Every structure is written in structure tokens, then in C-alpha cells.
Amino acid sequence: MIYVHSVQRAARYYPDRHALMDGDERLTFRQLHARIRGIAAALVQAGFVRGDRLAILLPNSSEYLSLIYACCWLGVIAVPINVRLAPIEIEHVLADASPRGLVRHSSLPAPKARLPWEVVLDEQPLKLSEEECREPCYDPEAALALIYTSGTTGKPKGVIATHSNILANVHAGNYWIRYREGGVYLHAAPIFHIADLPAIFAAPAFGATQVTLPRFHVQSFCETIQNERVNYTVLVPTMMNLLTQFPDLKSYDLSSLEVLAYGGSAMSPELISRIRAVLPHVKLIQVYGLSETGFLTGLQDHEHAGNRLASCGRPCPGSDVRILGASGAELGPGEQGELIARGANVMRGYWNNDVDTAASFRSGFFHTGDIGYQDAEGYFYILDRLKDMIVTGGENVYCGEVESVLMSHVAVREAAVFGIPDDKWGEVVVACVVCKPGETVTAAALIEYCRLSLANYKIPRRVEVLETDLPKGGSGKILKRVLREHWMSVASHREVS
């Protein structure tokens, strides 16, 4: 269904505009529509039928976009796989999704088990079929993709995103970003992530050209914006952090960039201030959501936000978000509880996982697992993941609050806070930090710095200053479970207090 409202719409109303720009290649919407029809026909010849799954293990590319579109055309379910997963994690996704076929890049792991249809795209390009292809699938409730969760707290689960789910996200994005016809959109964030996936369909719907960045590097990001005159893009906070620290940023002409949306994980007000300083002409849009829900809230007006820079904004029409207390009652302004949501953007369930689906939906609402509150005007604030909240000595510690203080230190580039078991306190607060290039700081100095802003029970009891970047998933989220496992495997923890 969504294909009709995106690429097919563009081929009808903007046939001769550029649809894709990939190096020297330029495709119009008319040409892209024809290419997708040829790929869809080739998949039919390979035995694909509606409801089959096609796994895609590729870096961002125009071929990636074309494959997603061809799946939509046929009602085949796309399974975009995080390219940063370990081979054993990729095997888990493939075993769970049971795809009929796989398209991958030769640099990425090959599956142990043979699939009925496999293509290594950089070694054997897809051959387009000249056969006739039926009209595009038009079923709002058809599954469009299985989007596997980041696995920050455990094994990834396959989120069933329907055509109507993604179309609802297109409308939500338009509410906050206010798309105009034309322009150039850059896929800098990974396409397999829910923060970027809806843009695949939003860009054609408004006649915008798409450009892809295979892998995020600050220099190539700036070069692409300058050379292709990019107008819109979406980044995750780790990418924005790197952008603010790029010494050659002023060497590039980024004047074409109009809108920079960001999401995927919490971002400190300090980092928002830095990005506003280096890109003062760019409109910033914060969006909050999950793989299971797509976009839930958005914050538009950063210039006049003030203290609301810590907020993730308000829901758009069609998205119902509330705060629920432990008793099951809805909470009022300032009261902390779990965010719950319902709307056309919310998934219908997890693939092959009725237990977790039932546990996530209660009384018609999806329970996000995020802890937060809303103010008197309905702006939402995220404090932590329910599973990440630390309970030490009977007091709740929200990791995001401690991380925000650590990130405000002049020497700190990255910070992650988590809890580890303790016989006396139940849990104690632990932090891992990475310094900016050329900067140094001791664990003791960071603990003293936290004392200036935090209650004693919130102050990290143990701090490790790492020489390497914090471990992250493909969406840029810090993998705290990896850090926690590292600490738990050490017999004698370093203690600084």
C-alpha cells in the first residue's frame, strides 16, 4: 500500500525529477519506478510470494532502497539487518525470521545455513526481469518489514511494522519537519533503524531526491552535504557529538542544510547547545520513539525551548502518549512513571513471540519500558529505561541524569552509567567515560565534579576512563549490557571514592 503513496505517486507527479543520486548515477522517478518493477519481477521469478521474507544485509545504498521498494510492491516482508551485529547475532535474526532469501555485501558475514536464494550484491548485481509484474500490494495491514530491536538489553526481537504503521510515521514526520516539495534528503543514519526507515517513503511522496551514505564519517558527511546540496537528514546523538568535534567543519559549505532531525537515544542539553553553535542556521527537530512505535513525540522550537531542551516534545495528532504509575493509574504533571502509547504508528506485535507481545500490550496501550514524566503543558521528559534504572539503598537513580552531568565536563566526549549488584546497597552506580581528543581526566576528578550537581546516592562510586569508544549497536545506542558484563567479569572492581 505504501508504495502507491510514495514512489508510484512520485512517478506520476514528478516523473523527471531526480529520485536517487549515487555517485555519478542519477535516476529520475520514472526510471526508479521501472527499476523497482524489474526487481520485483525478478523476485517473483526466484519464487518469492506475498508474506515471504527477504533479509537485507547491506550498507546504505541506492540498491538497498530499491530492494525495500520491491518488497513493498510484492507484499514480501523486508528484514533489514543491523550491519554491526556479530555473526552469532545475525544467525539469531535469520533463524527467527526464516527468510526465503538474503541479499548481502561481501564484506558482511555469510550465513552458516544455505538459503533458497542468496545474492552477494557487489559480486553479482541483481538482474532485472522484463516480465510483467502485478499491481503493487495495497493492503494497509500487510507486514512491510521485520525491524529487529537493538538488543541493548538482550536478544533482538522482530518488530512487525505494517504498511499503515510506516505511513503513519510519514505523516508524523511531516507534522514536525514540515516537508516541502523537492529538496535532497541524506540517509546518514542506518536505513535499518526506525529513525531513518520512514524517510525512504516520505522523500518520494514529496518529490525529494535521496542520497545515501554507506557509513557515517564526519568528513564524508560534510562532503556529501556540500556536493549534493543536501537539505534534510537524520542523525543519532553519537553522530552529532562527532560532528561538533570535527576540526575542519568550517571548511565545508553546509549552507544548504535546512533541517537536522535527531533521535535514537537521549541527548544532553549541553550537546544540543554545541550543535546549535556549529550549525546556527539549521532547524533542529528532536523525535522520540521506539522500533515498536515509530515516532511518538517531537520537539521543534529549540531556539526558544529554554529548559525544555531536555524534553522530547509532545505527540502529534494520531499518537496518544501517557504516563502510567505502578498502580496502573494515569499520572499527572511532574509525576514519574512509565510511558505508554497507542496509535496507527504502533506495531501489531513481535514476530514469533506471542509471550512478549502480550506482555507489552495491556488495556490497548503499548508499554514502552521508558520512565519519564510530562509537564503541565504536556511536554514529555525521558529519565531512563525501566530496565536501566538503578535502585541503590532504596533510592531510584536515573542513568540519563548522571550521564548528562558527566557529559557537561569539558574533557568528556562519551559517558555511560549503569548499575552493578552490591551486597550493602543492592546496586551501586558505575560510569564509563571516554575523553575528547587531547583531553585527560581522572576518575577521582569526575566523581568530585558530580558532587557539585548530584545528590550523594546518585554519584558514581566507580568510574573507568576508557581508551576506546564505548560499545555501540548499529543505531548508535551505547550497549550498556556489554559494559555491565565487562564489569561483572572483573573479580575485583576498581573503586574510587
Question: What is the DSSP track for 297-351?
Answer: EEE---TT-GGGGG--BEEPTTEEEEEE-TTSPBP-TT--EEEEEEETTS-S-BT
Q: Are residues 364 and 392 in the same domain?
A: no
pLDDT of residue 488: 76
Same domain, 247 and 162: yes
CB 210 within 8 A of CB 185: yes
Q: How far apart are CA 78 and CA 345, in angstroms?
A: 18
Which of 320, 342, 374 is the last residue before a domain boundary? Answer: 374
Same domain, 129 and 98: yes
Measured distance CA(37)–CA(45) in Å, rounded: 12
C-alpha cell at 206: 514529496
**Is the domain of 357 the same as that of 218?**
yes
Domain check: are 155 and 266 in the same one? yes
151 versus 459: which is more confidently predicted? 459
Global confidence as pTM: 0.84
3-state secondary structure of 214: coil
249-285 tens-digit pLDDT? 999 999 999 999 998 666 777 888 889 999 999 999 9
- Least Cα distance to 478 among 440, 447, 433, 448 occurs for 433
Is residue 364 located within the same domain as residue 258? yes
Q: Helices H, strands E: what count in the chain?
A: 13, 25
- Kindly report the average pLDDT of the chain as a whole number: 91
What's the pLDDT band for 494 if we cut at 50, 70, 90?
A: very low
| pLDDT confidence tier of residue 474, bands split at 50, 70 and 90 | low
pLDDT band at 495 (very low <50, low <70, confident <90, very high): very low
Range of the domain at 202: 7-374
Nearest to 67 by CA among 33, 34, 39: 39
SS3 199: helix
Number of structural domains found in the chain? 2
> Of the residues 330, 348, 374, which one is the last residue of a structural domain?
374
- Segment (H or E) for 371: strand 365-374
Residues 343, 412, single domain; the answer is: no
pLDDT per position as a tens digit, 12-42: 999 999 999 988 889 999 999 999 999 999 9
Amino acid found at 371:
I
Rounded to whole angstroms, what are the CA distances from 414 to 120, 181, 396, 449, 469? 36, 38, 23, 16, 8
- Residue 492 pLDDT more than 60? no
Q: What is the pLDDT of residue 300?
A: 87
What tens digit of pLDDT does each residue of 115-173 get? 999 999 999 988 899 888 899 999 999 999 999 986 544 577 999 999 999 999 999 98
Whether 382 is in a domain gets the answer no
pLDDT confidence bin for 491, thresholds 50/70/90: very low
* Residue 139 shares a structural domain with residue 238: yes
| 408 and 356, same domain (yes or no) | no
How many Å apart are CA 176 and CA 232, to the nearest integer?
13
